A and B are shown apart, each in its own frame.
Chain A
Amino acid sequence: MEVSFWFFVLISILKVIIVTGILLTAVAYTVLLERKVVGRIQNRWGPSRVGPFGLLQPLADGIKLFLKEDLMPTNVYKPLFIAAPIIALGCALISISMIPFGANIQYHGVDLFQISDVNIGLLVILGITSIGVYGVALSGWSSNNKYSLLGALRASAQVISYELALGLSLVGVILRTGSFRLRDIVDVQSTHGLLSWNFFGGWQFVAFFIYIMAAFAETNRTPFDLPEAESELTAGYHTEYSSMKFAMFFMAEYANMITVGCLATLLFFGGWCSPFGHIFQPYGGIWAAAIMPVFWFVLKVFCFLFLYIWVRGTLPRFRYDQLMGFGWKVLMPLAIANIIVTSFCLAYRAA
């Protein structure tokens, strides 16, 4: 169906505003969730004073960060010092635009649950996240601080090493789908519910574990949080940042976590598909058909966020040589083996 240009622009802008708003709110409440869950893991309450159950804590934190003085240390390289947090947050927010949140429901020819449906969506996300590294690298270098520089060096080395394993782990999924488009990848998994998800029916669990470990490293989360290791580098690459510039790094980290969770859901756990297949599809009419996929999607992403926090509360940090050895000597050969086995199985089935 042909869409008029201005209608398309208007709807697209609306979608961008709504998705960004939801994403930033989700980021704020992921921080709260993390503090709550890690608190319970360590046998304490977590934030509980602001609002019922501490639910208004993110708002208080936001106001605090806005009102703090924005320090500019002497002898920083100013243009890059200012650009670095913008790059980090910008890349983290842009990559969400490729993610489809629900079934393909068209309103006057415009997709309602995805900002842009690109046929190389998966590659675009990988490209944008790989650009996001510059935020961390440049912040550390421009801060003119030894701790920051060490954090930035660790971050760049770590991200380059784990990007290989991450990219290779996705090849199995691409082989099964034959497309880079995220909607196609989900559609392939939608036939028999749980059984046709890439993780279970597609035998891609090895790829999933490689992906999730590489993704932990890419987002600088525990146990791979060497770039910001508090106990040795004070705060790593964002040591010199304060106020909203610090908050931008913080938001970027959590937005990246959410994107990684979305991607894991789409690639390995059937995206917005219900685990029960099409059993409940005849009930509930058009509204249920629109809302239920979004519910399943959000539920799966929430599970991933919980997993992130759980791991953070459980595992200690890697040593640097262990980190490099694990990435190059374990994850990468495993990912290549997974590609060989998957393509062999597919070729055997096709023959």
Chain B
Amino acid sequence: MYLVLFLIFGGLCVAGALNLLFQRHPINSALSLIVVMSSLAVLYLLLGAEFLAAAQVIVYSGAIMVLFTFVIMLLNAGREERTHGSKAAYAIGIPGAAALLGALVYIFLSNGDLLGPTLLGASWVVPTVFSATLFRDLLLPFEVTSVLLLVAILGAVALARKEH
């Protein structure tokens, strides 16, 4: 059951990611990205992270991607032209991706005994426990992330500001 769900949504995730690259029209690419993000949410759910799954759908598929499609519609972007791409990207990107893949496979295989499947609903997410972890044990990373977001907002405002 879990394996079937994992195969379906993992496959959907990869297919959406590939479709994102191959589509010529920006809006189709944006829609493929929504498929990727929503399937990722299901994968989180299979790992027993219900809150993360819901947050993924609400924030990424529901808010950020709406903004993406909004911008695409606003600019009325047309079909993209296919280019050859930069040589540096080929030279560094393909070995880099292969190295990353190899490293991840190595890490997961070597720690295989520690990682196991989880039962759906085996661990109820109680918001009190969850927020104790997030706001007490992981307070510093949480606050640092918020500062990062603040910097990003300030940067966006600075870029959008009219020159006098």
A: which residues have CB within 8 A of B? 80, 119-120, 123-124, 126-128, 130-131, 133-134, 137-138, 140-141, 149, 152-153, 156-157, 159-160, 163, 167, 174, 178-180
- Asked if B124 and A156 sit within 8 Å, CB to CB, the answer is no
Q: How far is the CB of A173 from chain B (nearest CB, A)?
A: 11
From known contacts A119-B121, A141-B27, infer whether A131 and B69 are also in contact, taking CB-CB under 8 Å. Answer: no
Can you give 11 A-B contacts (C-beta < 8 A)? A119-B124, A127-B57, A128-B57, A130-B62, A130-B63, A131-B38, A141-B69, A156-B67, A156-B69, A160-B63, A179-B127
Residue of B with least CB distance to A132: B62
- Asked if A178 and B128 sit within 8 Å, CB to CB, the answer is yes
- Asked if B126 and A178 sit within 8 Å, CB to CB, the answer is yes
Residues of A near B57 (CB, < 8 A) are 127-128, 130-131
Q: How far is the CB of A344 from chain B (nearest CB, A)?
A: 15
Residues of A near B97 (CB, < 8 A) are none
Residues of B near A163 (CB, < 8 A) are 62-63
Residues of A near B74 (CB, < 8 A) are 153
Q: How far is the CB of A346 from chain B (nearest CB, A)?
A: 11
| In the A-B complex, the 9 residue pairs with the closest CB atoms | A130-B62, A123-B54, A127-B57, A156-B70, A141-B73, A127-B58, A120-B50, A120-B54, A178-B128
From known contacts A123-B51, A141-B73, infer whether A134 and B124 are also in contact, taking CB-CB under 8 Å. Answer: no
Residue of B with least CB distance to A180: B127
Residues of A near B70 (CB, < 8 A) are 137, 153, 156-157, 160
- Asked if A179 and B126 sit within 8 Å, CB to CB, the answer is yes
- Asked if A124 and B54 sit within 8 Å, CB to CB, the answer is yes
Q: How far is the CB of B17 from chain A (nearest CB, A)?
A: 19
Considering the chains assembled together, what is the distance between the CA atoms of A134 and B33 in angstroms? 13
Residues of B near A126 (CB, < 8 A) are 54, 58, 62
Considering the chains assembled together, what is the distance between the CA atoms of A80 and B74 in angstroms? 17
Given contacts A123-B55, A127-B57, A160-B66, 15 further A-B contacts (CB under 8 A): A123-B51, A123-B54, A128-B57, A130-B58, A130-B66, A131-B57, A134-B69, A137-B66, A140-B73, A153-B73, A156-B70, A163-B62, A178-B126, A178-B128, A180-B127
By size class, the interface of chain B is: 20 to 34
- Asked if A178 and B55 sit within 8 Å, CB to CB, the answer is no
B: which residues have CB within 8 A of A? 27, 31, 34, 38, 50-51, 54-55, 57-58, 61-63, 66-67, 69-70, 73-74, 121, 124-128
Residues of B near A80 (CB, < 8 A) are 27, 31
Residues of B near A124 (CB, < 8 A) are 54
Residue of B with least CB distance to A142: B27
Q: How far is the CB of A188 from chain B (nearest CB, A)?
A: 13
Q: How far is the CB of B48 from chain A (nearest CB, A)?
A: 12
Residue of A with least CB distance to B73: A141
Residues of B near A141 (CB, < 8 A) are 27, 69, 73
From known contacts A127-B54, A127-B58, A127-B62, infer whether A120 and B125 are also in contact, taking CB-CB under 8 Å. Answer: yes
Considering the chains assembled together, what is the distance between the CA atoms of A130 and B65 in angstroms? 10
In-complex Cβ contact of B73 among A131, A137, A179 (8 A)? A137
- Asked if B34 and A160 sit within 8 Å, CB to CB, the answer is no
Q: How far is the CB of A144 from chain B (nearest CB, A)?
A: 11
Residues of A near B51 (CB, < 8 A) are 120, 123, 180
Residues of B near A119 (CB, < 8 A) are 50, 121, 124-125
Residues of B near A153 (CB, < 8 A) are 70, 73-74
Q: How far is the CB of A99 from chain B (nearest CB, A)?
A: 16
Residues of A near B67 (CB, < 8 A) are 156, 160
Q: How far is the CB of A281 from chain B (nearest CB, A)?
A: 29
Considering the chains assembled together, what is the distance between the CA atoms of A155 and B55 in angstroms? 22
Residue of B with least CB distance to A178: B128
Residues of A near B66 (CB, < 8 A) are 130, 133-134, 137, 156, 159-160
Residues of A near B58 (CB, < 8 A) are 123, 126-127, 130, 167
Considering the chains assembled together, what is the distance between the CA atoms of A157 and B125 in angstroms? 32
Considering the chains assembled together, what is the distance between the CA atoms of A167 and B62 in angstroms? 12
Q: How far is the CB of B60 from chain A (nearest CB, A)?
A: 10
Residues of B near A127 (CB, < 8 A) are 54, 57-58, 61-62
Residues of B near A120 (CB, < 8 A) are 50-51, 54, 125
Residue of B with least CB distance to A118: B50
